Amino acid sequence: MRNYVIALYIRLSVEDFKTESLSIPNQKLILREKAMSLPEWDNSEILEFIDNGHTGTNFERPAVQELLTMVQAGKINCIIVKDLSRFGRNSIETGYFIERVFPLYHTRFISVSDDFDTANFKGDTGGIDIAFKYLISECYSRDMSMKTKSAKYAKMRRGEYQSVICPYGYRKSADGRMEPDEDVAPNVQMIFQWASEGNTAAEITRRLYAMNIPTPGEYRKLKGKDYYNVSRTNGVWSTSTVLRILEDQRYIGTYVIGKRKVKEIGSRHTQLKDESEWFKIPNHHPAIVSVDLFEKANASIKRFSLLNKKPRDYLLRGKVFCGCCDHAMSLRNGAWFYCRHSEVAETLPCHGVRIKMADLEQVVFETIRAQMCPALGIDSNKDKLDLQTVQQAEHEEKLRSIQDSKRHLYEQYALGEIDLETYRTRKAVYDTELVQAKNVHAVITAQTKQIKSDYEIKLKQQEIVQEVGNANILTKALIDRLINKVYVFPGDRIEIEYATQDFLETKESEKSS
């Protein structure tokens, strides 16, 4: 017997934290009370899906995506939300799911506050009231977005910097404006001066390291502003950081806003706008470098950029990392992996670490093959799963029998065959049996789910073992399926971090020199 599955969907956005009635506990209480009032409650399984701190203007939310996946798999019979805006504020997408998707999978949708139940609107969309509620929710989000953006731009025009983090070389003054940070502003001036003299970005990073100047992230951490993980930096500046500083017009006192835009309201995905659409504010704050020095530095610095350059593709692309500093290793001349981050610092343990690409591919393949051998005798546990499934079916039959007995008892009382006292006494016995049976059934269901999960994992393991056994060389498909990262250490030692951790553990291997 398949349970009637009720999904309680709860969403709390950042703005909702100010409203007690929208808190997660209160939403849970409202939804559970509604679920208990349904006729299917006695034979139902309750699932909770919670998106905490997510906007309702799009459906890029983990819990709602999980819910929709289960709906499409036919595993959800009913969805209950507090109101339509909890499910979504985008009128088109929300309406599409409620009016098209859910009916297709025979999933009932209930909005408690809106007194909306798709079971009451067979062949209908809920009427003009529901349509207006979609639009009101979406208009509210658009209005809030526009007001927030307008207030932000107004403050920036007045010179009040809005970001928590000022660019390297600046800090916030007491009145909220940007002002040069006398501790590091001279470093910015040096970078521009060196660039104007013809030094490359790599040469500038070497000078900064030789002078023991902390990186921007390290400096912020020294000031108690631990925004970034600087554990991998080791005092080494990156060329990309230097290039970003050199092209940043904020260092000449010009502030630029509106460089990027969101693809849709509520989305976190942005795209760069054309420079003609940028909003530039000259003399927004004190400059650190002159316009002449800025232009000379940018004219002198070498930026290697090839039009229509196609990225070089190779088997371990994006998988090879330095085992000492955890930076991605670069490929030189298509033949050697090396740690570019440590090139400027001879004192770092990974300075000079490199390995031939062909050798690395070979040792990775051999390590995988050796790791697979112990897994060849994996038992699928099919018999155990079959036995557990039979036990679950037996307990489901017992549940159904008790529920049938309760219904028959009520019919006897309604027809006058038994008196009220007899009905209450027998019903109390059935209720006790039903609670015990439900508890046992819940345990067996959980056990069956775990055994099924273990069985599917073992099947996957056998499939991987078979795939590796049939391969003669390392392939892109094997790498993508099995490997997250390959760490290279001094002394030609490597470690493999596997993507599948069910029966594989990080292993070490050594390549002969």
pLDDT profile of the chain (513 residues), mean per 10: 85 60 81 90 90 81 92 92 84 77 90 86 52 51 54 57 76 85 94 93 90 90 77 83 92 83 58 80 89 92 56 79 87 85 81 87 82 53 75 84 88 88 89 85 83 75 67 78 88 82 46 42
Whether the model clears a pTM of 0.75, i.e. scores above it, the answer is: no
CATH 3.40.50.300 fits 4-141, yes or no: no
H or E element, residue 158 = none
- Beta carbons within 8 Å of 249's beta carbon, 6+ residues apart: 255, 256, 280, 294
Domains 4-141 and 170-300 share a fold: no
DSSP 172: E
**φ, ψ for residue 282 (rounded to 5)?**
-70, 155
What is the structure's pLDDT at 481?
Answer: 78
- Report domain extents, the chain: 4-141, 170-300
What is the structure's pLDDT at 168?
Answer: 93
Instruction: Give me the architecture of the 170-300 domain, per CATH.
Output: Alpha-Beta Complex (3.90)
- Beta carbons within 8 Å of 313's beta carbon, 6+ residues apart: none
116 strand-pairing partners: 111
> What is the bridge-based pairing of β-strands 255-257 and 78-81?
unpaired
What is the structure's pLDDT at 312?
Answer: 65
CA distance 261 to 270: 5
Angle between the N-to-C axes of helices 239-247 and 291-300, in degrees from 0 to 180, rounded to the nearest 10: 140
Q: Are the C-beta atoms of 455 and 380 separated by less than 8 Å?
A: yes
What is the structure's pLDDT at 75?
Answer: 92
